[in-house]
Structure 1
Amino acid sequence: MKNLFGRKVAIDASMCLYQYLIAVRQLDGQQLTNEDGETTSHLLGMFYRTIRMVENGLKPLYVFDGKPPVLKGGELEKRLLKREAANKQMEELKETGTVEELMKFEKRTVRASKEQNAEAKELLTLMGIPYVDAPSEAEAQCAELARSGKVFAAASEDMDTLCYEPKFLLRHLTVAEARKLPIDQIEYSEVLKGLNMDRLTFVDMCILLGCDYCETIKGVGPVTAFKLIKEHGSLDKIVEWIEKNPEKTKYKLPENWPYKEAKELFMNPEITKADDLDFKWSEPNTEGLVDFMVKQKGFNEERIRSGADKLKKGLKGGVQGRLDGFFTVVKLTPAKRKADEKDKKGGKKRGKK
């Protein structure tokens, strides 16, 4: 995380809240609650993980989901059915199941509510940490901010984020230390270069691999998806090939497959242009944090005040810029490096003359 010192990062808030609701638990495996029985796991996670980032010199900006695209309705309905099935299995396991078995099914039922999203926003405001409400998908808005240079990177566990063309994608940023994982920094241009694809072809392959907007073709995994894209050049041509040669291929297209609509959502997502967004980091409201986190939510006052002090110190320290902010960083290809070395040698010879 220290390698990201001085970086502004747009973080998918909905993904974070889900992670905290899953990971932040009491010793008996239950979510944290206050005396009134209200869940507070999301607040504890948001408070301390954000402080950890700020202490390491990062400037986090959280982005919250807006209204989901109509096309996502089918996926959301599937998730709802899975949650209902998991809830039913949990009830059956309460008498005979182990803590591990209960946790397995509870993970499938977790979803941040509107109230929990609102509480997270209130907490961030008191912490002096900015947030943005996306008009639709948070990861698309994060990518827009990263692509425009308003922030260094988009941070999300959702690999669909790459379809929206962020300059950099960070994975495991908010859970790296808790899970002892490295933070992955994925450079979008290097992804396309490594796959030898343009953005449209890459999006086609991602739809084949599976996304939130439509089903996949049964039997098509990563290796086959890459092979088909390389052979046919685009998803449209793959679909045409399958439809024209049903007897020559084992692949069957899903009925009324809306892959074109999915492609349009990735290529032209509903976002707020980065130039229309202004945000800043400010000093935390310590007394406001005490009132909200201690008096209303039941947290320890000493720890909340200590956290506020760390925020103040971290945000002041984060004012210092990165060295690469003062210079233009240029990547040298092997050919360019050889040419530069040749020029240097030529310069020395001319100097002697």
Structure 2
Amino acid sequence: MGIRGLTKLLADNAARCRSDQELKSFFGRRIAIDASMNIYQFLVAVRQGSDNLTNEAGEITSHLSGLFYRTIKLMEVGVKPCYVFDGKPPKMKSGELQKRIDAKKLAQQEAKKAEETGDVEAFEKYSRRINKVTPEVIQQCKTLLKLMGVPVIEAPCEAEAQCASMCKGGLVYATASEDMDSLTFGTTRLVRRLWSGATATNEKKGIRPMEFNLPIALEELQMDHSTFIDLCMLCGCDYMDSIKGVGPTTALNLMRKHGSIESVFKALRKEGKHVVPEVDLSEIRQLFVKPEVLSNSEINLQWTSPDEAGLIDFLVKQNSFREDTIRSGIKRMLSSRNAASQARLDTFFKKKPTAAKRKVDEDDTVSSKKGKLSHAM
């Protein structure tokens, strides 16, 4: 689910934090990709009619096709992708996970009804909601990425939290995910619709990746990250439902008025117009402030040459892909390594400090000199 209504809230109150980008603008950038989210998109998007792509054994291969070709496209424009996979979910997320399970069961029932009545449009609609990322699918994707020479990181818990930690520590430029709670976890940059621009159709429609800048968002909202976390919790997140009658705009106004979610809850209970949940706000907040993640020193990001023989065996022999198309993809990967090895032009130049930054530096220099003179005397 992410954070309910956060995209529109930022559009209305912190518009400067979002910018539409060309895919090629991420040339030379390391980007941590929320793997499960993107694999699910591949299962839904890469289809033939209402059926997923399958191999000779009837096993679904849509995720492999999407992951293989879209990753190659990223590499061709000079992006250095690394994929982060979820570990165990936090206990407090169990309620949200159950909702998703129930929604899939309902979709299965509706798809069956549509098939029986011959309603093709409804069948297609509900069939898309049935796809799920199984442990087998995850393992296949990890195998494929390793054969492609792309880094795979297995997070101890939430992938979004791991991506955010990598971004905050400077290991990667941005997090790529559709979940806005990546910002709540503290990623300094979030890229949504990363695959937009990777297809000719999206390019023609003018659909581009969206980049969100957290420091600018906090500046526009005039709040620190701790207060922003409280705002996101109040909007509704994976660990806590939103309060009926309190939408994102109301949540923002309440946070500005009361300063913390505890104070907001106290005011709402006193008012008596809303059903305020009995939850441990401190525990939920800590899931965002100190999530379970690997330290950057434990992560080794290395992009290597693709294993051609391994890819042919895995994709062609085991999963029924056409050998000529896979060999063509491998050639594209090898060619892209030259592009990826080139440094971004802006790394050769240092940005000139702003007037304010120069003033601070000058003051620090003067202060330092005064300190040395005083110590000498």
Q: What TM-score, normalized by structure 2, do the two folds share? A: 0.85
Structure 1 residue 106: Cα displacement: 2.2
- The yes-or-no answer on 1:22 pairing with 2:44 is yes
- The yes-or-no answer on 1:317 pairing with 2:339 is yes
Report the equivalent of 1:200.
226
CA distance in 2, matches of 1:259, 1:109: 33
Note the 1:127-276 alignment, pairs <5 A. 127-178=148-199, 180=202, 181-246=207-272, 250-254=273-277, 256-276=278-298
CA distance in 1, matches of 2:44, 2:353: 40
Structure with larger RCO (C-alpha < 8 A, sep 6+): 2
Contact 2:28 2:80 in 1 (8 A): yes
- The yes-or-no answer on 1:41 pairing with 2:62 is yes
Compared CA separation, residues 113 and 159, structure 1 to 2 (3 A): same
Report the equivalent of 1:75.
96
CA distance in 1, matches of 2:212, 2:254: 24
CA distance in 2, matches of 1:98, 1:337: 67
Report the equivalent of 1:300.
322
Report the equivalent of 2:8.
none
Unmatched runs of 5 consecutive residues or more in structure 2? 1-22, 360-377
Report the equivalent of 2:13.
none
> Is the deviation greater in 16-25 or in 217-226?
217-226
Q: Secondary structure at the match of 2:211?
A: strand
CA distance in 2, matches of 1:114, 1:19: 16
Contact 1:203 1:266 in 2 (8 A): yes
Contact 1:163 1:266 in 2 (8 A): yes
Contact 2:192 2:209 in 1 (8 A): yes
CA distance in 1, matches of 2:80, 2:308: 19
Structure 1 residue 260: Cα displacement: 3.0
Compared CA separation, residues 66 and 331, structure 1 to 2 (3 A): farther
Structure 1 residue 96: Cα displacement: 1.6
| Same amino acid, percent of matched pairs | 44
Structure 1 residue 330: Cα displacement: 5.0
2:93 aligned partner, one-letter code: K
Structure 1 residue 336: Cα displacement: 7.4
Unmatched runs of 5 consecutive residues or more in structure 1? 339-353
> Is the deviation greater in 74-83 or in 53-62?
74-83
Structure 1 residue 258: Cα displacement: 3.8
RMSD: 1.8
Q: What TM-score, normalized by structure 1, do the two folds share? A: 0.90
Report the equivalent of 1:349.
none
Contact 1:215 1:257 in 2 (8 A): no
> Is the deviation greater in 88-97 or in 213-222?
88-97
CA distance in 1, matches of 2:36, 2:357: 43
Report the equivalent of 2:367.
none
CA distance in 2, matches of 1:215, 1:186: 24
